[in-house]
Amino acid sequence: MNIRQIPFIVLILLGFSSLALAQKWVNPHFDAHRVDYRDLGYPAANMLEADNSPITALLAHSNTKVYGATSGDQSYLFVYDPRINKVLPLGRIPGAKGVYHSLLEGADGTIYIGTGLNVLEQVPLTKEFPGGQRAIQIQLWKDINAPYEDYEGGHLFHYNPEIGDAEAYLLEDSCKVKDLGIPVHGNTIYCMTFNKDKSRIYGISYPDAHFFEYDLLSGESTDHGEMLESRVFSGPEREWRSVPRGLFCWEDGKIYTSGEDGLIVAFDPETDQFTATDMRIPGEYWEAWNYNGYPVAEQFVMAPDSMIYGGTSDGFLFRLELDKQKIVSLGKPMVARRLRAMTVGHDQRLYMMCGEFQEPCELYAYDLTGADGFWNMGVLGVDRSPYYAKRPYEFDSMATGADGTIFIGESDRRAKLFIYSPGPRIFPGTLNPTNPR
């Protein structure tokens, strides 16, 4: 062998070894070509910086586009346009470091954005403090509140896609939004929903759990005060509570979410009061172990048959039958806590991302017909070797596109917008790829 050939042989072997490692990312639970991702912009041009790219809100718009917002040192608005199959940054959201579960499409097609601080940011924890009953729990909550001591509060913005989407943006540009003010001073807007005719926005703030409303006709906001007596932070991610992160408006005009002790509560706009129901979301309460759990609703979605489905911070999926005043626990798809995000597909399946930060989140599907139950679809590993490959870990938002495509927002550093194209359910290794399950 010519000694000059050795470096080339070494490079070839290294190339094969890297390809072999990349192939381990292929998910055996569905065809690999059904999942891909898109960068948030163009490299070396306007792609969002790594620490400002975590996607924490997604909205599938009636114009067939998908809008998203990021959290970090600076929050950005972006849009995925299916006509060009790319993500386009729409500029900075002024003064915002985060947008969490707070993107809504109005009756006229304009978009409302609730902002605040970056709720995913790591918080410095106090190492030494006095002891006593629940001392750690009390101190943790003080540490969580510390970044909000001098914070003015998250703003509510209004964005018109017909105007804003038509412009090209650089990273230093602000998106074309109108500032509607601060609904709750000193707090982040944590989640939002509309009333029945989309004339009012209702929301929950963090960390003080204030319930607020914004009247789109008058432009006035009302802070209804704290909706929880117990506000607890019992540990990073594992029990990232006790403020609910989801709410919805039912056909009776009331706004529903989870409240004290995991009970579903209803806000009546007629009386401006909350009423607790007898329906308790499933969770790991463990009363016999002298353990106080604070499970909350992560998100609510409505199926085509108007049935409400919810996910909890303990990782349970449930169906909320309000006409019967009943909750049906559908089980816990994953051992780890948190059902982080979910969306209803066009194929009678409910798609959800489950898991905590210790290991990669996994995609699950639930058969809404009740025939199949849960389907573990595994990690969203993308392998387009030798061009690009990625194994993501954390996700916090999902949306279903106009054609049934599932969009999943990664919330880790250097985040990407993941795209899953549903297909027939098949057993791994089946010899008949057309055999649906």
Strand partners of residue 131: none
- Domain membership of residue 44 as a residue range: 26-420
Residue 242 near residue 228 (C-beta atoms within 8 A) = yes
On whether residue 34 sits in a domain, the answer given is yes
Residue 14 banded pLDDT, cuts 50, 70, 90: very low
Write out pLDDT tens, residues 29-65.
667 789 999 999 998 889 999 999 999 999 999 999 9
| Chain centre to alpha carbon of residue 293 | 22
Looking at residue 98, what DSSP letter applies?
B
Structure-token match 């054609």, residue found: 403
Residue 30: helix, strand or coil by DSSP?
coil
- Mean of per-residue pLDDT scores for the chain: 87
- Alpha-carbon Rg for the chain, nearest whole angstrom, is 22
Write out pLDDT tens, residues 316-339.
999 999 999 999 999 999 988 889
On whether residue 8 sits in a domain, the answer given is no
Residue 164: helix, strand or coil by DSSP?
helix
Residue 205: give its domain's CATH number.
2.130.10.10
Domains of the chain: total: 1
Residue 22: helix, strand or coil by DSSP?
helix
Nearest alpha-carbon partner for 236 in 340, 329, 357: 357
On whether residue 203 sits in a domain, the answer given is yes
Structure-token match 């449930």, residue found: 318
Write out pLDDT tens, residues 175-203.
999 999 999 999 999 999 999 999 999 99
Residue 100: helix, strand or coil by DSSP?
coil
Q: Which two tokens stand for residue 312?
A: 């909890």
pTM: predicted TM-score of the whole model, two decimal places: 0.90
Looking at residue 47, what DSSP letter applies?
P
On whether residue 7 sits in a domain, the answer given is no
The mean per-residue pLDDT over the stretch 372-384 comes to 89
On whether residue 322 sits in a domain, the answer given is yes
On whether residue 123 sits in a domain, the answer given is yes
**CA–CA gap between residue 344 and residue 131 (Å, rounded):** 46
Give strand ranges (E) for 61-100.
66-70, 76-81, 86-92
Residue of 354 and 134 predicted with greater confidence? 354
Give strand ranges (E) for 235-296.
248-249, 255-258, 263-268, 273-280
Residue of 242 and 297 predicted with greater confidence? 297
pLDDT at residue 289 greater than cutoff 80 = no
Residue 282 near residue 314 (C-beta atoms within 8 A) = yes
On whether residue 11 sits in a domain, the answer given is no
On whether residue 73 sits in a domain, the answer given is yes
Q: Which two tokens stand for residue 365?
A: 């599907």
**CA–CA gap between residue 257 and residue 247 (Å, rounded):** 5
Structure-token match 């410095």, residue found: 124
